[in-house]
């Protein structure tokens, strides 16, 4: 392992399968050092967003205005000079975005986070534009259908629709990187798997930021990070699981989507996974990385000391976020040389 700055003691990194063979373990990088800006962000999130999520978990049936989150995100401006325009996919809107210099041969399909419940094109435009600039690649950002009105299967379908759009517009699948954060990280692996299963081919790579990869809440709740996470209160995890289960019963034509950690991973694209060392979803990122590597998939797991969930979205404020986005850019550019 190596570190960007000072060394730190990360949570135990233990192969879920018990394998100790270097050929079947992910490449792990630990990034130590916590800036004052990062500490301030963590404290702010812990004292504002976390109590809100705790209140939501106590009464999830109330008419919470989750749809407003994307509408009030207008202050989150993209990188200067970014061009973007709306795209109509089969069942949802999307946005094709290109930051200055983002005109490489590789394209990125981006699936936003938000617990399958909120966020969208506006909330993630700044992050997506930064990734476009760092990777030198255009991005199709997909506003997929969400809970509670749609099961996760439909979000996967929308991701596949975005993938087909990119292929139809001149980007072969082996030049497309599928990326996403949080719930979008779940969709990243699901869409890459479905592309293989349906015969569309193998994507160039996957990038998962603070990914949710296991719908079973028990491993997260049993992990020490359940008490440390600055964003997610413990009670929110099983509540989200219940909402997902209810949504799966909306239309019995749809088979429930398996958790990415339970997929057959042989043949999946190379993966970069980034996580904060104290996140609720740290165990999801770790487990996914080990299971991919055990299947022979080249996998890089980056653990960033005490960073909040999807800290990359705060790259304009937090230096660790900027460095992490630069690492995403490095990974995507490295795939373009293959």
Annotated catalytic, 38?
no
Q: Are the C-beta atoms of 132 and 97 separated by less than 8 Å? A: yes
| Catalytic site includes residue 279 | yes
| Structure tokens that stand for 289 in this block | 């990385």
Note whether 118 and 87 are within 8 A (CB).
no
- Cβ atoms within 10 Å, residue 17: 13
Bridge partners, residue 205, by sequence: 177
Q: Point out the catalytic residue in the list 132, 223, 309, 320.
A: 309
Tokens standing for residue 287: 């487990």
320 is catalytic: no
* Catalytic-labelled residue, pool 15, 42, 182, 190: 182
Distances from the Cα of 77 to the Cα of 43, 118, 175, 316, angstroms: 24, 19, 27, 10
Q: Which two tokens stand for residue 234?
A: 């413990």
Name residues whose C-beta falls within 8 Å of residue 265's C-beta, 6 or more positions apart in sequence. 193, 291, 292, 294, 295, 297
Going through the chain in order, the beta strands assigned E by DSSP cover: 27-31, 83-88, 93-98, 107-111, 139-142, 176-181, 205-209, 271-276, 299-304
Q: Catalytic residue, from 279, 286, 305, 320: name it.
A: 279
Return the active site residues. Answer: 182, 279, 309
């Amino acid at each position: 392992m190596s570190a960007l700055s000072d060394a730190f003691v990360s949570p135990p990194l233990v192969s879920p399968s018990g394998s100790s063979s270097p050929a079947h373990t992910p490449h792990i990088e630990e990034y130590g050092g916590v800036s004052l800006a990062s500490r301030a962000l963590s404290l702010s999130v812990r004292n504002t967003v976390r109590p809100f999520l705790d209140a939501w978990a106590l009464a999830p049936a109330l008419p919470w205005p989750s749809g407003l989150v994307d509408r009030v995100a207008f202050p989150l401006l993209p990188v200067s000079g970014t061009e973007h325009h709306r795209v109509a996919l089969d069942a949802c809107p999307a946005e094709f975005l290109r930051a200055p210099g983002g005109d490489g041969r590789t394209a990125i399909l981006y699936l936003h986070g938000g617990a399958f419940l909120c966020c969208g094109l506006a909330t993630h435009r700044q992050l997506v534009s930064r990734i476009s600039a760092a990777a030198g690649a255009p991005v199709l950002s997909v506003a997929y259908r969400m809970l509670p009105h749609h099961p996760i299967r439909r979000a996967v379908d929308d991701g596949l629709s975005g993938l087909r759009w990119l292929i139809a517009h001149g980007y072969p699948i082996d030049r497309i990187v599928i990326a996403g954060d949080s719930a979008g990280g779940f969709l990243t692996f699901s869409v890459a798997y479905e592309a293989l299963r349906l015969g569309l081919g193998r994507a160039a790579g996957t990038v998962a930021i603070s990914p949710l990869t296991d719908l079973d809440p028990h491993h997260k709740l049993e992990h020490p990070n359940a008490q440390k996470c600055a964003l997610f209160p413990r009670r929110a995890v099983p509540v989200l699981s219940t909402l997902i289960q209810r949504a799966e019963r909306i239309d019995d034509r749809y088979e429930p989507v398996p958790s990415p950690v339970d997929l057959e991973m042989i043949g999946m694209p190379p993966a970069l996974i980034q996580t904060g060392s104290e996140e609720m979803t740290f165990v999801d990122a770790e487990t996914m990385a080990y299971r991919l590597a055990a299947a022979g998939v080249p996998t890089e797991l980056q653990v960033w000391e005490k960073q909040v969930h999807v800290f990359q979205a705060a790259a304009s404020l937090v230096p660790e976020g900027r460095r992490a986005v630069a690492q995403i850019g490095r990974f995507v550019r490295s795939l373009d040389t293959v």
